[in-house]
Structure 1
Amino acid sequence: MTAINRGAGRPGVNIIPIHSKTPNIHDSAFIAPGCSIIGDVTIGADSSVWYNCVLRADVSQIVIGERSNIQDGSIVHCDPERPGDPDGSPCIIGDDVLVGHIAMIHGCIIEDRGFVGLGAIAMNKARIGSDAMLAAGAMLTEGKVMEPRQLWAGRPARFMKDLTDAAIMGMRMGVAHYAENAKAHGKAVGEAF
């Protein structure tokens, strides 16, 4: 099966249908060159997937809401249904989510305004609550649940403290920055090709 480039504004991106599923990417989303978007992936309005990310939904689905960003070098995957687990582990990422560089997001749920730090890992059936932060380098193990507004850190990750209003405002500023910066990168990429 060969990669296809779905229209203008996506040069250098591998968009690959598999198992009769083709990625569904909103026209306003920025997908950087070097990315591979595979299978049952949905990406919402004004979201961004940065340079050299892989989103592979070959065995279940990946859903990314609006204004969320998956930063450079990150990997997003999912797991299929299995005996005793008829739902499998799709990867569901809400609106206004920040996923830091080189993160690994696997079969988990990140609620609206959740944050995943640089190099962090979130595993199957884990949940990152709204306005919660998984610290840089942390590993959220299978099935762990972070409640809203919590900071978890470590390997394995554990609860550290509740986030302040200032910390949450900082995360929201990060979302706004990436949404705006994605427009500039989209223009620059279009001009480069």
Structure 2
Amino acid sequence: MDIDETAYISESAYVQGKVKIGAKSSVWPNATIRADSPIKIGRSTNIQDNAALHSMNEESTTVGDRVTIGHSAVVHGCTIKDECLIGMGAVVLNDAEIGENCIIGASALILEGQEIPSNSLVVGVPGKVVRNLDEDDIKRIKDKAAEYEELTEKYREK
């Protein structure tokens, strides 16, 4: 494991295997990161309560910078680029790729191998792009990442 000294890992989170976690990132209560093959998490990214990240065999999982992985989301063997928000209960399956500045709605299902273009809002089962994000949407993604970065600082000080 390679966890940056400025990252925060909750005592009740489970982190195991070939994991790299970037500066000011956070893993919150009961989240699971199980890296049977590499999982890389960028800077200022937050993995919220009960989320699960997993990779195995030839797959790897990459999560970019300033990404929010919502409560109870499942991220498995895929790539999520910078400044995305993965909604609560969403599922992103093997070999899927989420472009930069995307919002994956709560409970959406991103299918195996599905590619989501940058600046997309995706909802539903299976997930479908319903519109492009505007500047306000992208600001919300950045604000949420910044909010969790502040929480990371606060919890690290305790």
Structure 1 residues 1-193: aligned runs within 5 Å: 23-58=1-36, 60-80=37-57, 88-188=58-158
In structure 2, what is the Cα distance between the partners aligned to 1:66 and 1:35? 18
TM-score normalised by structure 2 residue count: 0.98
* Greater gyration radius: 1
Q: Which runs of 5+ in 1 are unaligned?
A: 1-22, 81-87, 189-193
Q: CA deviation at 1:159?
A: 1.1
Q: Which runs of 5+ in 2 are unaligned?
A: none
In structure 2, what is the Cα distance between the partners aligned to 1:26 and 1:133? 26
Q: CA deviation at 1:185?
A: 1.8
In structure 1, what is the Cα distance between the partners aligned to 2:69 and 2:106? 10
In structure 1, what is the Cα distance between the partners aligned to 2:84 and 2:67? 5
In structure 2, what is the Cα distance between the partners aligned to 1:127 and 1:133? 13
Q: CA deviation at 1:79?
A: 2.6
Q: CA offsets per residue over residues 4-27 of structure 1, 9 Å max, x none?
A: xxxxxxxxxxxxxxxxxxx11000
Secondary structure of 2:156's match?
helix
Which letter maps to 1:105?
V
Q: CA deviation at 1:33?
A: 1.4
Secondary structure of 1:92's match?
strand
Q: CA offsets per residue over residues 71-91 of structure 1, 9 Å max, x none?
A: 0110000131xxxxxxx2200
Question: Does 1 or 2 have the higher relative contact order (CA < 8 Å, sep 6+)?
Answer: 2
In structure 2, what is the Cα distance between the partners aligned to 1:100 and 1:187? 23
Which letter maps to 1:76?
L
Count of aligned pairs: 158
In structure 2, what is the Cα distance between the partners aligned to 1:115 and 1:126? 15
In structure 2, what is the Cα distance between the partners aligned to 1:162 and 1:31? 33
Q: What RMSD, in angstroms, separates the aligned Cα atoms of the two structures?
A: 0.8
Name the one with the larger strand percent.
Answer: 2
Q: Which runs of 4+ in 1 moved over 2 A?
A: none
Q: CA deviation at 1:183?
A: 1.2
